[in-house]
Structure 1
Amino acid sequence: MAIFDSKGRLFGKINILDLGAALVILLVIVGIFIFPGTSGSVAQVGSKTVPIEVDLAVRGLNVRDPERLFDNGFKKGGKTNVIIRNQPYGQIGIKSVQLLPRTVTATQPDGSVKELPDPRSNNFSTDMLLTLEGKAQVTESGPVLGNSKVKIGMPFELEGYNYNFNATVIDVRVQNK
């Protein structure tokens, strides 16, 4: 008896293409359930949750009246929604908000440079220093909020009732507790 017959069947009973498809399906099932791989989360099970403070610099925020922005919840003790790398993290507490003065550099007659208040009266650009506080997982590679590592230079997107703007991380402080 021949191994393959004239119709391409193995021992005259099983089509070789059907056998190949069944083996591929079996290998996929074995790969999923026996070798599942890593979980995909940056925060590992052995990590601990600690308080964290993140300083953010907001440069050139175009707002007509910064004080009105603070009246609608964007103030010390309030909360804001944070989006890190296009992944919503959720709400995080605002520890402090500090408006930074707008200045210009002016060259002096002796060649030195001084920083002076910006004389333009119709300037709607605002600079701020924000400190946010929350809880983060601490891993070997640093603190993690949600599934995103928090590092200096990262952009944060802040969103609330009447605002949505970007800020840059300038400092990360992990509290030891």
Structure 2
Amino acid sequence: MAADLNKRRWSWSLIDFGALAAVLLAVGGVIWSPKLSGAVAQATGAMQPVLVTVDVRGVPVADPAGLIESARAEGKVNIVIRNQPHGTVKLKQISSLQRRLVAVQPDGSVVTAVDPNQAMVGSLDARFLLEGQGRKTGGGVVFGNQNLKIGAPVELEGAQFRVGGTVSGLRLEDS
């Protein structure tokens, strides 16, 4: 009887293959995890400061100046890129943008003036300058595990607001 047990060889069953596949998928998920790749990039020095300029235009707000001041007081905003939360980034600067009216005169000249309705209507036109960590790739700047380019829509969220804007500038700073 003992001789029969020694002669039996272990063979692979369908359950063994399934368990092996699950282990390999788990290991692959850990290796290619965006958070892990970001941590590896930061550890190797591939991450560097990125300045992102976001323009927000025409958002109806009862008190635009108050919203700008509350954002300045917070000093940070949450950023959402392509419906994927990135996290909190530092708000370096926020400035109000003036809308301008353009009129062509009968003689062909162009005249511009500040829009007088902007103060009465109560809409937010502002430029947010954000600072975060990113890395340069062949396809642009990777910011928050998302490839970010000028013209990309983003959402900015503070304690009292959530506004949609467009990336109007990207600059990698040398560290």
Distance in 1 (CA, whole Å) between partners of 2:20 and 2:111 is 70
Is 1:102 aligned to residue 92 of structure 2?
no
Change (3 A) 1:132 1:99: same
Give the alignment's TM-score, normalised by structure 1. 0.73
Opposite residue 151 of structure 2, the aligned amino acid is: G
CA contact (8 A) 1:76 1:97 kept: no
Opposite residue 39 of structure 1, the aligned amino acid is: W
Is 1:79 aligned to residue 79 of structure 2?
no
Opposite residue 66 of structure 1, the aligned amino acid is: P
Point out the structure with max Rg over C-alpha.
Answer: 1
Choose from 145, 169, 172 the match for 1:171: 169
Match of 1:49 in 2: 47
Change (3 A) 1:76 1:174: farther
Distance in 2 (CA, whole Å) between partners of 1:161 and 1:99 is 19
Opposite residue 31 of structure 1, the aligned amino acid is: A
CA contact (8 A) 1:77 1:93 kept: no
Opposite residue 105 of structure 1, the aligned amino acid is: V
SS of aligned partner of 1:116:
strand
Q: Deviations over 1:102-149 (max 9, x none)?
A: 211112121233221213363222311211011123444333222212
Q: Moved runs in structure 1, 4+ residues, more than 6 A?
A: none
Give the alignment's TM-score, normalised by structure 2. 0.74
Deviates more, 1:120-129 or 1:28-37: 28-37
Consecutive unaligned residues of structure 2, counting only runs of 5 or more, are 1-12
CA contact (8 A) 2:51 2:170 kept: yes
Query: What does 1:143-154 correspond to in 2, within 5 Å?
Result: 143-154=141-152
Cα deviation, residue 77, structure 1? 7.8
CA-based RMSD? 2.5
Match of 2:32 in 1: 39
Q: Which has the higher helix share?
A: 2
Change (3 A) 1:77 1:133: farther
Distance in 1 (CA, whole Å) between partners of 2:110 and 2:19 is 70
Choose from 135, 153, 161 the match for 2:133: 135
Is 1:125 aligned to residue 123 of structure 2?
yes
Opposite residue 61 of structure 2, the aligned amino acid is: V
Distance in 1 (CA, whole Å) between partners of 2:20 and 2:62 is 61
CA contact (8 A) 2:72 2:91 kept: yes
Consecutive unaligned residues of structure 1, counting only runs of 5 or more, are 1-21
CA contact (8 A) 2:64 2:123 kept: no
Distance in 2 (CA, whole Å) between partners of 1:171 and 1:71 is 22
Match of 1:13 in 2: none
